Structure 1
Amino acid sequence: MKIEENYRPNVAMIIVSHEYPKKKNIFIAQRNDLGDIWQFPQGGIDEGEEVLDALFREMEEEIGTAAAEIVAEYPEWISYDFPAKIAKSMKPYKGQTQRYFLVKLDKDAKIDLDTHHPEFSSYKFVDIDEVLDITAHFKKPVYESVINYFKDEGLL
């Protein structure tokens, strides 16, 4: 894996319901520490951990289930810088570099945000066109690139 220096390796997921591809609404969760900021589930890749292992571990840790299948993967690492306020608490990293996956929940998947270390207070499935209106400004360029890629591939 090629990771940019000073960027935290991370996995992120665009989650669709078990009704995909009939319904293409996307899971988005409200952070419990940043007010009205919504985002896709994501998390760090531990030292020596494989990307796919991190994907399913993070899904379980953040939304209480790993009952899902990978539909597609964004073909490259994509990075963003932390805003100054966040960067202070994330040293030595100046941002994150991520692998994105489009993931479909299994029919019997049960979302539970009351995890061991809850990161989200609420969630909903929204139309793809609503996502950028409610997400953090510093993540929008990455979200837009990944969403457009999956749209261009006919997946969203």
Structure 2
Amino acid sequence: MNTKRILFSLAITCFVFIGCAKDVKKENVSLAISGMTCEIGCAKTIQSKLSKKEGVIDAKVVFTDSIANIAYDANTTSKSELIAYVNGIAGGDLYTASETSTEVTKTKKSHTCSDDCKEKCELKAEKKGCCSGKTIDGKMVCAEDCKMACCDKKETV
């Protein structure tokens, strides 16, 4: 008899917990954020704070595009709350967020180096992984942050 009573109590407890479980209503929003001046200090700070906000499932801030892509639980927070939250980071004086219609993903931009830069770029590539080692039309393809004076930033790949 005690075993039946324990099993019955356990079953009731499980039903209560399952019945009280909250459904997540996942939504996505992309926010344009102005006022960011650097990737590590600004973008990473905003991303970190958003990730810790109640109701935020995932947050990615893309500094180069000034965009935050946020997945959130609409039962817990809203687009307007997220905008106000970003606007309030750093005392409310630095960042301004507004909803944008498209979700942006981070893309790595690159440029090509002139022929006379190729050797310098290859040396830097060995030291810091700056250039991919690939060539297009005989020119080394370098990461955007290669910052070699002889690289032609006008040609993007």
Give the TM-score range, shorter chain: under 0.3
Kindly indicate whether structure 1 or structure 2 has the higher relative contact order, using CA contacts under 8 Å at least 6 residues apart. 1
Question: What TM-score does the superposition give when structure 2 sets the normalisation length?
Answer: 0.28
Q: Rg: which structure is higher?
A: 2
Q: Which has the higher helix share?
A: 2
TM-score normalised over the length of structure 1: 0.28
